[in-house]
Amino acid sequence: MTTFDKREKAQESKFVHNADLTFRAEARRNKHLAIWVADLIGKSDVDAYIAEVIASDFEEAGDEDVYRKVSADLKAAGASVSEQDLRAKMSELLAQAQKEIMTES
């Protein structure tokens, strides 16, 4: 195996590792977000709501599908959370999830 091949394999491994960490952090963020929203809107079955929010993330790439889901749920329940506040909370929870995952590894 040449040096180039070794570097290519190392880069592929790094990419896979980073993609896995990103996926796990986003899934954990979605769980934390679902718990936060469930508390705001008074959902009694938090586990089912967590599953709904996590499932909504598979509709399209990026965070917009999750944002639309929880935003619609907040509006339907009459909770007053601005777009800016919701996006800030999503960013805050993503950073928290990343820290949690890094300390576990």
User: What CATH number did the domain enclosing 31 receive?
Assistant: 1.10.790.20
Q: What is the pLDDT of residues 77-95, one digit of tens each?
A: 999 899 999 999 999 999 9
Where in the sequence is the domain holding 29, given as residue range(s)? 3-104
Instruction: Write out the DSSP string of 70-84.
Output: HHHHHHHTT----HH
Could you tell me the pLDDT band of residue 105, with boundaries at 50, 70 and 90? Answer: low
Query: Is-contact 26 18, C-beta < 8 A?
Result: no
Q: Mean pLDDT in the chain?
A: 91
Crossing angle between the packed helical segments 64-76 and 83-104, to the nearest 10 degrees: 120
The pLDDT assigned to 53 comes to 95
Residue 100 makes CB contacts below 8 A (sequence gap 6+) with 28
CA dihedral 27, 82, 65, 74 (to 10 degrees): 80
Residue 33 makes CB contacts below 8 A (sequence gap 6+) with 53, 66, 70, 89, 90, 93
Domain count, the chain: 1
The whole-angstrom separation of Cα 36 and Cα 77 is 14
Could you tell me the pLDDT band of residue 65, with boundaries at 50, 70 and 90? Answer: very high
